[in-house]
Amino acid sequence: METMIKNAVAHYEQLLREQIARAENLNAAKKQKDENKTVIGLIDGDGIGPIIMAEAKRALEKLLADEMAAGTIELRVIEGLTIENRLALGQAVPDQVMAEIKKCDVLLKGPTTTPSGGKMESANVSLRRALDLYANVRPVCVPEENIDWTFFRENTEGEYTLGSRGVEIPGLLSMDFKVTTVEGTRRIARSAFEFARKNGKTHVAIVTKSNIMKKTDGLFSAICHEVAAEYPEIQADEYYIDIMSANLVNKQIRSNFQVFVLPNLYGDIITDEAAQIQGGVGTAGSANTGTEYAMFEAIHGSAPRLIAEGLGDYANPESILTAACMLLRHIGLAEKAEKLTAAIQAARAVKPVDAAIPGNTCAAFGDEVLKQM
């Protein structure tokens, strides 16, 4: 037991030193960028990923045909981020794949599978950390219910940054670690309040469990309120994650919420709840942005059950197409984003993906999107 304790303490010291170094170097040097061309990396992912990404690729090729011909935009397929390759190499993101990814400016990524158990972390977590994609931005909109929410989830810290590197005393206990830094919190808070100011929003909800997680969530709360003081025109209120989860399904008050800022794990959970209110996780896209890179994806996983049941062709591509809309806005092509958004909405009414209806497949939905464009 004494040896195990000493080993755990040494392991924790290593983790602590790594996180101190990371916190001290959050403002890294900028990468060199070709100002005349934007490289969009396309990553299929696993399971239903290649199926839905095929429709996103078709839509982008049509929308960006002129820019691609002029050489101002390149669509670049990045291969190798598959569960088979990752397991074979024992890397969440293989080194060669990461090198190719870093040559891009923005990414559109299909869902990737994370093995259960073991020590291999999520490819998403690894990418968010390596590219410093600290802001996970997820919009949810249900106009008929007056819902217009935008969630700012801290993307590189919390329980996820060391989620695969906890300590274990076999047969007795296990411990994982949660990390909150001052600068990491400040930049996600500022992103949320800047968005609110620029978009005429008047309320930001700070979501924590600071009454229980007094060190980590307590720091997150304090920094968010510190940043909020710089935006006196915006009302900032703090809610605990459990009551906020209930508030989102309370039809009497949920339309009062506008912008949310919250730590990593809470954001992961509550944005899936919000997406379900919108119509399911298959309808929601997600942006992961940092200072130098940005990655856009569906918020759902690779749906292995759908593949196992032979229903992969009926995967709904709306989520990845919505993510493509967010990507287009991010690179300054708002009109094209609106064109794609309108086409998605029209296709949903005409050709909804439905395994019970012959011909209403993922590809048929993509065909309808192209037709509507």
Per-10-residue mean pLDDT, the chain, length 373: 91 91 73 78 97 98 97 97 94 96 96 80 87 90 90 91 85 93 95 92 97 96 98 98 97 96 95 86 79 89 92 94 92 92 92 89 96 95
The pLDDT value recorded for residue 103 is 95
The pLDDT value recorded for residue 300 is 85
The pLDDT value recorded for residue 332 is 87
User: Which residues lie closer than 8 Å to 325 by C-beta, 6 or more apart?
Assistant: 285, 337, 340, 341, 344
SS (H, E, C) 207-272: EECCCCCCCHHHHHHHHHHHHHCCCCCCEEEEEEHHHHHHHCCCCCCHHHCCEEEECHHHHHHHHH
* DSSP states along 270-287: HHHHHHHHHT-GGG-EEE
The pLDDT value recorded for residue 354 is 87
CB 206 within 8 A of CB 237: yes
The pLDDT value recorded for residue 31 is 58
Q: What domains appear along the chain, each with residue ranges and CATH number?
A: 34-133+290-373 (3.40.718.10), 137-278 (3.40.718.10)
> Nearest to residue 182, comparing CAs of 22, 72, 342, 60?
22
Predicted TM-score of the model (pTM): 0.75
The pLDDT value recorded for residue 286 is 84
